[in-house]
Amino acid sequence: MTDIPDQTTDALMQEQQVLARTINSLTDQIGLFEMVQDLSQKIISQFDLTHILDTFAGIIQEITGFESAAIYLFDSHGEFNEIFSTGLEARSIHKLLPENSIIDWVMAQGRWTLLTDPQEADNEKVFSILPIGTPKKKSGFMALVTDPEQSIYNQKRISILSFVASQTAIAIENQDLYAQMNKSSLFLGNIVESISNGILVTDMIGNVTLINKNATALLGIRTKDIRGKNYKDLLETKMADEVERIYRQIRTKGFVVESMVSHVPYKEVHISIGITASLLTDPDNQTIGIIFIFRDMSASKEIERLTRLDAMKSEFVSNVSHELRTPLSIIKSYTEAILDQVDPEDHETRQQFLQVIDDQTDNLTTIVSNLLDLSRIEAGKYDIEYKAFTFRDLVSNVIKGFSKKLKTQDLYVNMDKSLPEMTADEDRIKEVLVNLIDNAIKFSPEGGIINIEAVHKNDAIYCSISDTGIGIPEDQLPRIFEKFYRVDNSDTYEIEGTGLGLSIVRHIINIHGGKIYAQSKYGKGSVFTFSLPVKRGFDGV
Amino acid sequence: MEYKKTILIVDDMKHIRDILWFTLKKEGYKPVLADSGPEGLNILLNEDTHIDLVVLDVMMPKVDGFEVLEVIRSHKGDISKIPVIMLTAKAQKDDVVKGLKMGASDYILKPYKFKDLLSKIKVLIG
């Protein structure tokens, strides 16, 4: 029985020893793994290749105690290049590299491999290769030169080294992806910068997370280091108020909000800005901010203006066609009647019809000459011939020409006796007067009073022509000098015209250095006032 | 006294009305004048006047020729059958097609030859 306890004790002792050794070894390994994991965590968290390789080399140095080492990475063509080296003999390591087939073989093994047998090395160094890669991807390898005395080569270390190498490979790959991401965010950044609209992104409390140059320009932001600042501190009050309003709206509504604001980003620069705002969400559909797009509406306005001009031109073609055909058909009908039907002895009817033909021919001439004037103006060939004349005489002459046209209207003239002689293109100024007086008569179909006044002031003649006619609706008043534009009153009166007269009048006044403007009350009458410098070359009246 | 066919002329241009009145009268018709669409319709719908044919201008303020034509053609009585010649300065095909589709008997473009108008009138009412 005594044997038995002895044996039992022995066995127990042995088991205890084995257990202690295992525990020790495990503790050892756990400690080592913890260290390795800690270090490899360091590697993984790096996004800079030099740092990764530096940390990696440090760990390997710790484990293998190498004297020199170099790291080679494969490029996209499968060629390897030295990226990193450390140690005294680092520079000559590449001379020790075996032929490619051996490197390929080591890579295929995927584990730390000694290429010099430590037993045969004598005092020579031991050369080894540690592949860097995961089972899926080979990134490169490390070549190590170790003192044979220091060389510790065993299975445990091999697996630890392989683990570290694979972690490094992952880190290298991550860093590569990170670099690519960086590149693509740079790429996106460039796109954002080149968009002609202003783009401003803020988080939910209004701090700027992204802004492009056009936004700073459009919004007139002068502050540097905009990122992270609140929009309220960046925008001028009016714009900030509008953005705040959009903020509240978008947070309650939760979708795209559009708005317009006229805005003065710089002194005397007035622009109207269209704002579109929408919520920005991450891939999990969480709201992470608001994106504002600011558009300079001046450009859209220009397009709108051109489109309108285009529409006016086609309307003009149809107007001109109607305006030309109407007098032509009258001329034709009356001529035919005289030729075929009017009794040759009926002088009165003949006379009457010939008068109609004569008037309509004048009408046609005016239309055609207006068209010609316009095309000359457009081509920049509208020449002015200056000569001296008296404005009073010109007005009197023009009025004489209208005596036949005045049927139900009364015309009064009131001119300064001191009106000086002026230098201008008399024919063109006559055209202006004819046009304005003709309009005054034309647009007073029910009769009324037409007043012509002229005064001399500041080296200029100011002339106004007023009527008590149908007037111009207020909203159309700013457009009456635009070419082709015709006041839309077709529901009340049908008055002939091509929409060219006033645009030509304004052109004539302008090239003489004068100005023209109109005032009107719809249904009450209109006043056209123009100024003309007395002397040639006197600008800015 | 010989019965004269009555032709209603609807045109806002005085010169056109005057010359049509003169020429149609010379050709033995009895012209009646209206200077606007509504006035033309007033004359047409007045039971005292019998109208044999209408010469209708298209481009007129307030109520244009197409609107007048529509009223004529949708009338419940005999008025809807009155021949209508559209007189238009608009050379656009669309207007001609529109007029004919709406039931115009014929059309004539300004400037027109009186003989052409006359022959169209003769075809329609003799």
> Which domains can be identified in chain B, with CATH numbers?
6-125 (3.40.50.2300)
Identify which has the larger pLDDT, A321 or B101: B101
- For the segment A315-336, the average pLDDT, to the nearest whole number, is 81
The residues with which B6 forms a beta bridge, in sequence order, are B30
Q: Which residues have a Cβ under 8 Å from the Cβ of A484 and sit 6 or more positions away?
A: A309, A312, A313, A315, A316, A319, A498, A499, A500, A503
Tokens, residue A24: 């020790």
Q: Helix A391-402 and helix A426-442: axis angle, to 10°?
A: 40
Contacts of A336 in chain B (CB under 8 A): 23, 113-115
Most confidently predicted of A144-158, A257-271, A362-376, B103-117: B103-117
Residue B18 has a pLDDT of 92
Confidence check: pLDDT of A1 > 50: no
* Predicted pLDDT of residue B10: 95
Q: How far apart are the first and last CA of chain A?
A: 137
Edge-to-edge strands of the sheet including A460-467?
A409-415, A448-457, A460-467, A525-533, A516-521
CB of A335 within 8 Å of a chain B CB? The answer is no
Which range has the worst mean pLDDT, A111-120, A149-158, A437-446? A149-158
Chain A: give the shortest CA distance to residue B78, in Å. Answer: 30
Question: Least CB-CB distance to B61: which of A331, A341, A493?
Answer: A493
Q: What are phi and psi of A261, to 5 degrees?
A: -145, 135
pTM, two decimal places = 0.47
Q: Assess A322–B contact: CB distance below 8 Å, yes or no.
A: yes
Listed by number, the residues of chain A in 359-388 with a beta carbon closer than 8 Å to a beta carbon of chain B are 360
Instruction: Determine whether the interchain pair B89/A325 forms a contact, defined as Cβ–Cβ distance below 8 Å.
Output: yes
Asked if the model's pLDDT at residue A540 lies above 50, the reply is: no
Interface test with B, best of A322, A325, A348 (most B CBs within 10 A): A325
- Any chain B CB within 8 A of the CB of A343? no
CA separation for the pair A304, A299 (Å, rounded): 9
What number is the average pLDDT over the span A163-183? 81
pLDDT above 50 (res A496): yes
Given this model, what pLDDT does residue A372 score?
Answer: 83
Report the gap between the CA of B75 and the closest CA in chain A (Å).
Answer: 25
| Residue of B110, B117, B118 to mutate, interface with A, max A Cβ within 10 Å | B110
pLDDT digits (tens, 9 = 90+) for A346-362: 999 999 999 999 988 88
* Burial of A13: CB neighbours in 10 Å, binned 0-12, 13-18, 19+: exposed
- What percent of chain B shows pLDDT beyond 70? 95
Of A328, A491, A492, the CB nearest to B111: A328
pLDDT tens per residue across span A235-256: 888 888 888 888 888 877 776 7
Quick one: average pLDDT of A511-529? Answer: 92
Q: Is the pLDDT of residue B43 over 90?
A: yes
* A299 beta partners: none
> What is the predicted pLDDT for the residue at A539?
47
Question: For residue A485, is pLDDT > 80?
Answer: no
Residues of B in CB contact (< 8 Å) with A are: 12-13, 15-16, 18-20, 22-23, 26, 59-62, 89-92, 110-115
Nearest CB to A329: which of B22, B61, B110? B110
* Average pLDDT score, chain A: 82
Q: What is the pLDDT of residue A541?
A: 42
CB contact under 8 A, B112 and A329: yes
**Residue A520: pLDDT band with limits 50, 70, 90:** very high
CA proximity to A502, closest of A444, A437, A456, A405: A437
Between A144-153, A320-329, A477-486, B112-121, the lowest mean confidence (pLDDT) is in A144-153
Mean pLDDT, rounded, for B24-35: 93
User: How far does Cα A527 stand from its chain's mean position?
Assistant: 43
Q: How far is A445 from chain B (nearest CA, A)?
A: 14
Query: Cβ of B12 and A494 within 8 Å?
Result: yes
Mutate: best of B14, B16, B19, partner A, most A CBs <10 A:
B19
pLDDT of res. A398: 93
Mean pLDDT value of segment A375-392: 85
Which whole number is the average pLDDT over B58-82? 89
Say which residue the tokens 């003649």 belong to: A461
Nearest CB to B19; choose among A322, A334, A494: A334
Interchain CB contacts (distance < 8 Å): A and B:
67
| pLDDT band (50, 70, 90) for residue A170 | confident
Task: Compare CB distances from B19 to A322, A325, A333 and report the shortest one's residue.
Answer: A333
Helix (H) / strand (E) containing A501: helix A501-511
Residue B32 has pLDDT above 60, yes or no: yes
**Can you spell out the DSSP letters for B60-75?**
-SSS-HHHHHHHHHT-
Chain B residues with CB under 8 Å of A333 CB are 15-16, 19-20, 23, 111-112, 114
Over 60: is that where the pLDDT of B29 sits?
yes
Q: Would you call B22 and A349 a contact, using CB atoms and an 8 Å cutoff?
A: yes
- Which residues are within 8 A (CB) of B54 and not within 5 positions of it... i.e. 6 or more apart? B7, B8, B9, B10, B40, B44, B72, B82, B83, B84, B85
Indicate if the pLDDT at residue A421 is higher than 50.
yes
Contact A392, A414 (CB under 8 A): no
Most confident of A78-92, A287-301, A439-453, B17-31: B17-31
Please compute the mean of the pLDDT values over residues B101-111 and round it to a whole number: 89
Q: CB within 8 A of A441, min separation 6: which ones?
A: A402, A405, A406, A409, A450, A467
Q: What is the average per-residue pLDDT within A404-418?
A: 86
Contacts of A321 in chain B (CB under 8 A): 89-91
Average pLDDT over residues A190-211: 87
Question: In chain A, what percentage of residues exceed pLDDT 90?
Answer: 18
Q: How confident is the model at residue A169 (pLDDT cuts 50, 70, 90)?
A: confident
CA A528 to chain centre: 42
Peptide bond before residue B111 is cis, with ω within 30 degrees of 0: yes
Nearest chain A residue to B111 by CA distance is A329
Interface predicted TM-score (ipTM): 0.86
| A351 in contact with B, Cβ within 8 Å | no
Provide the pLDDT confidence category of residue A460 given band limits of 50, 70 and 90: very high
CA distance A463 to A454: 4
pLDDT in tens, A263-319: 777 777 777 888 888 888 888 888 888 889 988 887 777 777 788 777 777 777 776
Does B61 sit within 8 Å of A490, measured CB to CB? yes
- Mean pLDDT of all residues in A321-350: 87
Residues in chain A closer than 8 A to B89 (CB atoms): 321-322, 325-326, 329
Predicted confidence band at A18 (pLDDT cuts at 50, 70, 90)? confident
A residues 291-320 near B, CB within 8 Å?
318
Res A455: pLDDT: 94
pLDDT band at A335 (very low <50, low <70, confident <90, very high): very high
User: What residue of B is the nearest CA neighbor of A327?
Assistant: B111
B81-105: per-residue pLDDT in tens? 999 999 876 666 778 888 889 999 9
Question: Most confidently modeled of A116-120, A368-372, B78-82?
Answer: B78-82
Q: Please report the pLDDT score of residue A121 as a whole number.
A: 54
Question: Shortest CB distance from A341 goes to which of B12, B23, B112?
Answer: B23
Least confident residue range of A183-187, B75-79, B118-122: A183-187
How many CB atoms neighbour CB A195 within 10 A? 13
Domains annotated on chain A, with CATH: 14-179 (3.30.450.40), 193-300 (3.30.450.20), 383-533 (3.30.565.10)
Alpha-carbon distance A496 to nearest alpha carbon in chain B (angstroms): 10
Q: Is the pLDDT of residue A127 over 60?
A: yes
Q: Determine whether A329 is exposed, middle or buried from the number of CB atoms within 10 Å of its CB (0-12, 13-18, 19+).
A: buried
Residue the block writes with tokens 């909000």: A257
Is residue A11 scored above 80 in pLDDT? no
Residue A328 touches partner B, C-beta closer than 8 Å? yes
* A492 at interface of B, judged by CB pairs closer than 8 A: yes
AA identity, residue A158? I
From B28's Cα to the closest Cα of chain A, the distance in A is 12
How far away is chain B from the Cα of A329, in angstroms, using its nearest Cα? Answer: 4
Q: From the list B13, B18, B114, which residue is nearest A326 (CB)?
A: B13
Nearest to A322 among B59, B113, B114 (CB): B59
